[in-house]
Amino acid sequence: MTGRAYVVAKQAPRVEEKAIAESEVTLELERLQHALEKSERELQKILQLTEQKVGSQKAKIFEAQIMILSDGVLFDSIRKRVKKDLRSAEYVVHREISKYQQVMMNSADEYMRERAHDVEDVKNRVIRNIQQDKLISRFDESSIVISELLTPADTILFSRNEVLAYATDMGGVTSHAALLSRSLNIPSVVGLKEITKLVTTGDLIIVDGYSGTVIIHPTEATIARCNERKEEHLQFETRLKEIRDLTAQTTDGKIVQLCCNIEFSEEALNVHAQGSNGIGLYRTEGLFLRTENYPSEEEQFEEYKAVVEKARPHKVVMRTLDIGGDKVVSNTNSEENPFLGWRGIRVLLDMPDVFQTQLRAMLRASAFGEVWIMLPMISGVKEVRRAKESLEQAKKELRSKGIPFDENIRVGAMIEVPSAAVLAGEIAQETDFLSIGTNDLIQYLLAVDRGNENVSSLYQEFHPAVIKTIRFIIIEAHRAGKTVSMCGEMAGDPMAVLLLMGLGLDEFSMTPYVLPEIKKIIRSVSYQEAEEIARRVLEMKTEDDIKDFLRVNLHTMVPELLIE
């Protein structure tokens, strides 16, 4: 994708003195109001979360911050100063609140000095919200967004405008922001370390999502070459349409299921467009990241029902909320090690209201098509049992109200924590299916943060330990008579397909746009060959050996693939 860069500064808000014209005052005051309301909504949500997690005593800080926001005298004087001094809202907020803060800092009372930090937090939150509002309206033209780091919430926010591509300093390819941009069909290259230093707003650049490269100030010849490659890819994709309605079946008759991973209800139509067998992972966090408060049961039900209706007659595997890690719903209190912290099923089991609301919404959607429920971040049997009890409670409530749902709804667990992999057999006995989440499983198994570009070379799909673990999970689940799917990015990696087939995986769920290529690979080989490949790979000791072997085999068996 070729376009002009727009560099987003994402550090602590920087504020410069900026004069505004009289005609801009109304808009400036509207922005201020909007930012105040947004800040309050954010703080209310954080307050609610904190209360549920650590109790109302600790949550008092946020109550105090909300009170500062509703200080009519302070904000009236800020509004007056914007009008009178003709200065930007963020500048006046910064100047006036800093004065107030200084008075508190100089106080002899320790309590007052402590409160000065809350004032600082409120000030930064309001300024950030004013600036974000301006940033959004600045995207009049389509741009390539360059930033240090993107959060999943930023990715959604920016994509309301015409974003041609993303390129970031930090982040890994399986970070949730990168996955989201894939879902939004926006090319992205992440973890470039210093792209924000090398590029200035307005520079012409190319972001090549196929090869993961960025070219700054490309020559005419480079642009032409990139366009040619893009054309080649498009032609290949057109050719793949011929097999869209065919089964994913090997030459010797073994059939596997190919499903789509989606984040938004709009994407559900891909199920048919890409010739898949359903939705193998519906990440429900999108809805929670888009709304500032937790979506109500009704809002969730409408969204889930829309997905089910679009995917019909195919199944939809809905995953219960997986916040935490790098997916933070507004600026909650941060944790030292978020990926090892309050995440996925742990959050839901601690917040029964949020869990019940979501389960009821999912159950209600199951009256309109085939829904399976999947639990994220399971680390042992006890969590599965507790989650199933919650599900029973939600069913009971709907039954008592006479609301229809699928009584036999299937419940599965994601296997993405090493302890769950070790207990795959036990967990399989308690559930209807397993789904391997390699994005997390790899990071936890190899102790490599999936979003940290400094260790990205150690994040290895083809690490022998990863492959042996996958094999173990499949064997254990099959022994318990259950099917195994994989919904991590590895399932959509052309290099991994033959190996995973050979290991006996039943279902592959992936970003929709790679599905036709994966189907092509499966239809080009025999199961016997895939088993032989898996057997050979299991004897290898390093990722390099495994990758070389798989690359050569893929090239020979499916020569028409365009592998980067």
Q: Given candidates 15, 487, 518, 530, which one binds ligand PEP under the rule CB under 6 A? A: 487
Q: Is 487 a catalytic residue?
A: yes
Q: Which does 493 bind (CB under 5 to 8 A by kind): Mg ion, ligand PEP, none?
A: none
User: Which amino acid is located at 506 in the chain?
Assistant: D
412 counts as binding Mg ion under rule CB under 5 A? no
Q: How far is the CB of 327 from ligand PEP (least distance, A)?
A: 8
Of the candidates 191, 437, 492, 516, which one interacts with ligand PEP according to CB under 6 A? 437
Q: How far apart are CA 525 and CA 521, in angstroms?
A: 7
Residue 344 interacting entry, from Mg ion, ligand PEP, none, C-beta within 5 to 8 Å by type: none
Q: What's the min distance (Å) between Cβ of 441 and Mg ion?
A: 8
Number of Cβ within a 10 Å radius of residue 379: 19
- Of 226, 259, 260, 487, the catalytic one is 487
Residue 27 phi, psi dihedral angles, 5° rounding: -60, -40
Taking CB under 5 A as the binding criterion, the range among 8-16, 89-97, 409-417, 522-530 that sits at the site for Mg ion is 409-417
For 12-61, give the DSSP string.
Answer: SPP----B--GGGHHHHHHHHHHHHHHHHHHHHHHHHHHHHHH-HHHHHH
Taking the complex as a whole, how short is the minimal distance between the CB of residue 440 and Mg ion, in angstroms? 4
- Hey, how many other C-beta atoms are within 10 angstroms of the C-beta on 552? 10
Residue type, 548: D
Q: Report if residue 2 touches ligand PEP, rule: CB under 6 A.
A: no
Query: Catalytic one among 94, 176, 314, 463?
Result: 176
Concerning whether 233 is annotated as a catalytic residue, the answer is no
Q: What is the DSSP string of 271-315?
A: HHHTT-SEEEEEETHHHHHHSSSPPPHHHHHHHHHHHHHHHTTSE
**What's the closest the beta carbon of residue 338 comes to ligand PEP, in angstroms?**
12
Contact residue for ligand PEP among 154, 440, 461, 476 (CB under 6 A) = 440
Comparison of 36 and 445: residue with beta carbon closer to Mg ion: 445
Residues 461, 493: contact at Cβ < 8 Å?
A: yes
Length of the chain in terms of residues written? 564
Q: Which does 406 bind (CB under 5 to 8 A by kind): ligand PEP, Mg ion, none?
A: none
**CA gap 547, 62 in Å, rounded:** 51
> Which residue number, 183 or 553, has a Cβ lying nearer to ligand PEP?
183
Query: Which residue, 185, 188, 147, 182, is CA-closest to 168?
Result: 147
Contact indicator for 499, 534 with CB cutoff of 8 Å? yes
Q: Does 278 bind Mg ion (CB under 5 A)?
A: no
Q: State the minimum distance, in angstroms, from the CB of residue 325 to ligand PEP.
A: 7
Q: How far is the C-alpha of 50 from the C-alpha of 265, rounded, in Å? A: 29
Q: Among ligand PEP, Mg ion, none, what binds residue 2 when CB lies within 5 to 8 Å by partner kind?
A: none
Enter the tokens of residue 123.
């000030």
Binding mask 415-444 for Mg ion (x = CB under 5 A): -x--------------------x--x----
Calpha distance 430→375 (Å, rounded): 12
Residue number closest to Mg ion, CB atom? 440
Give me the amino acid identity at 273: A
Instruction: Tell me the closest approach of the beta carbon of residue 283 to ligand PEP, in angstroms.
Output: 5
Q: Which is nearer to Mg ion, 118 or 440 (CB)?
A: 440
E strands within 321-378?
A: 371-375
Per-residue interface string for the shown chain with ligand PEP, residues 320-359, x marking contact by CB under 6 A: --x-------------------------------------
| Contact partner, 283, from ligand PEP, Mg ion, none, Cβ < 5-8 Å per class | ligand PEP
Nearest distance in Å: CB 459, Mg ion:
14
Q: Tell me which of 366, 431, 439, 456 binds ligand PEP, using CB under 6 A.
A: 439
E strands, 441-524, are 483-486, 507-510
- Residue 211: count other Cβ atoms within 10 Å of its Cβ: 10
Tokens for 133, please give them: 């509002």
Question: Which among ligand PEP, Mg ion, none contacts residue 487 (Cβ within 5 to 8 A by kind)?
Answer: ligand PEP
**Closest among 36, 130, 65 to 333, alpha carbons compared:** 65
For Mg ion, the binding residues (CB under 5 A) are 416, 437, 440
Residues involved in catalysis: 176, 487
For ligand PEP, the binding residues (CB under 6 A) are 179, 281, 283, 322, 416, 437-440, 487-488
